[in-house]
Amino acid sequence: MEFPWWDKKSVSLFDQILFLPPVMEGALPLAFEQELFVEFCSGNGLWIVQKALENPQNLWIAVEKKLERAKKIWNRAKRLGANNLLVVCGSAENLVTAILPGPIVKEVFINFPDPWPKARHAKHRLIQETFVTELQKKMLPGGKITFVTDHAPYLEQGLTVFEKTMKPLLPEPFYGKDPENYGCSFFEEMWRKKNKTIHYTVYANH
Ligand SMILES: C[S@@+](CC[C@H](N)C(=O)[O-])C[C@H]1O[C@@H](n2cnc3c(N)ncnc32)[C@H](O)[C@@H]1O
């Protein structure tokens, strides 16, 4: 399958892939015809392509900032016929702030985002108050966010950040559970083989 060409300077929509440049000057929000199911930090797309195939009535969006990985997701979606999946090659922050129109997102999934384990690097983690505040504006009422991590300090950061804008959905303790039929990502498979504890937290928009 031939991957579309991209100049890396402008927002470009090709066949099932939306490229976002690092600088989004002048970008306008896109119009979507149905509510969205979004996964941030999709990696090679194992989890989301499966979800798109299982739920063909939904529009799924895989967001991955690395070009090589976005390419893998796109190829997988094309090969398996997941026509209801749009790959976004760009940062989650740029998609949320510049491209998503008003409240349109039904569900968000953040599976194993980079943990940046050193305390001095924690500022690079995706889940920050500014990001989640912007994201919440794009969520439909009752929309949900699922955050999955094996990294305890990131779990703690997620609890603190999400609880400011969203409400926890699962009863206490609402982490360390293994939801049925959640699906499995590349990192989940890897950490499960190493017997790591996986923490799932789910939040609902008010
Ligand atoms: C640890 S991997 C997890 C991949 C996948 N979710 C899984 O569970 O196998 C994290 C991925 O997030 C991507 N990423 C990191 N920060 C991002 C951001 N701000 N926006 C979009 N993708 C991001 C990285 O390039 C990497 O592919």
**Do the beta carbons of residue 135 and residue 144 sit within 8 Å?**
no
- Condensed to tens digits (0 to 9), the pLDDT of residues 23-36 reads 998 899 999 999 99
CA distance 169 to 115: 23
CA of 47 to the centre of ligand 1 (A): 12
Handedness of CA 199, 68, 132, 203 (dihedral sign): negative
Classify burial at 74, counting beta carbons within 10 Å of its beta carbon; exposed 0-12, middle 13-18, buried 19 or more.
Answer: buried
- Condensed to tens digits (0 to 9), the pLDDT of residues 86-100 reads 999 999 999 999 999
Domains of the chain: 13-23+30-204 (3.40.50.150)
- Can you give the pLDDT at residue 143? 93
- Joined together, the tokens standing for residue 163 give 């609880």
**Catalytic residue list:** 114
CA of 55 to the centre of ligand 1 (A): 22
CA distance 34 to 120: 40
Alpha carbon separation from 49 to 58, 92, 149, 157, 201 (Å, rounded): 12, 18, 20, 28, 22
- Can you give the pLDDT at residue 173? 46
Helices (H), the chain: 46-54, 67-80, 92-94, 129-137, 152-165, 186-193
For residue 95, the ligand 1 atom closest to its alpha carbon is 20
